[in-house]
Amino acid sequence: MQIFNDLPSLRAEIGLLRSHDARIALVPTMGALHAGHLALVEEAKARAHHVIASIFVNPTQFGPNEDLAAYPRTEQADVMQLDAAGVTALWMPDVAQMYPDGFASSIHVAGLSDRLDGAWRPGHFDGVATVVTKLFNQVRPDVACFGEKDFQQLAVIRQLVADLDLPVEIIGVETQRDVDGLALSSRNAYLQPRERSIAAALPETLVTAGEAIRSGEDAAAILSWATQHLMDWGFESVDYFTLCDERTLETMTKLDRPARLLVAARIGGTRLIDNIPIYP
């Protein structure tokens, strides 16, 4: 696996791959890799001749009181995992490469970026949309793989690709989970042992609430119960526990079309998000 830190060298390599009519897949990450990221790599390998992974901890998607400085960085282990997984090349730019002096542009996906996590983390999805668009322009992939765990992020990226006529196929990959059901996330490393045991209530509550809504129980009542249930289990707050249209993420009051049940909750200073699909 080749590692690139400057854009001209990356583009030269991609040009070489393209000269052989190779199909290229991109797996964007912020490092601190786990089995969820490797599932993206495997999906990408099934859809292209070569996989380009990226590692870039994007400062523009962190708010002023969020964990940019504390975000886990495990560069050496990440490189070893990607190499073993069969990635062709790794793109590892620094902040100066991605946002040089004078950088002044931003992409805002209206509507999708403004609800749920967007309401709790103003500007977050502008940072996501901008850096992902830059990555697409830098790598020029035929296909890009993203995890469904960050479902709102996936929806935002799908919308910007459609709106901007970007020639890349977006693939959502099913959420990868630990043995207790907790969605794999780099931020799980922040959890203390007691918090980790409490966190397992998050996916359990999602499944229970989803089954109840699917069976015809009142959605508002179930969502209220689920929120209180998490608080009773030891979560410090619940930012949202909601039923949304799977495509638009607009709030739903009854299950009459494909939906997602989404939750964001906080424990011990760590904010966890998760979701599951629900179909009528």
Q: Is residue 108 annotated as a catalytic residue, yes or no? A: no
Question: Which residues have C-beta within 8 Å of that of residue 114, sequence separation ≥ 6?
Answer: none
The arrangement of strands across the sheet holding 237-245 comes to 237-245, 259-267, 270-278
Between strands 237-245 and 89-91, the pairing is unpaired
Helical residues (DSSP H) of the chain, grouped into ranges: 7-18, 35-47, 75-84, 95-98, 117-120, 124-139, 151-163, 193-199, 201-214, 219-233
Q: Which residue of the set 20, 34, 37, 124 is catalytic?
A: 37
CA nearest to 117, candidates 244, 252, 224, 220: 244
Q: Please work out, in degrees rounded to the nearest 5, the angle formed at the alpha carbon of residue 191 by the alpha carbons of 187 and 197.
A: 120
d(CA 9, CA 265): 42
- Extract the tokens encoding 177: 């989970």
Active site residues: 37
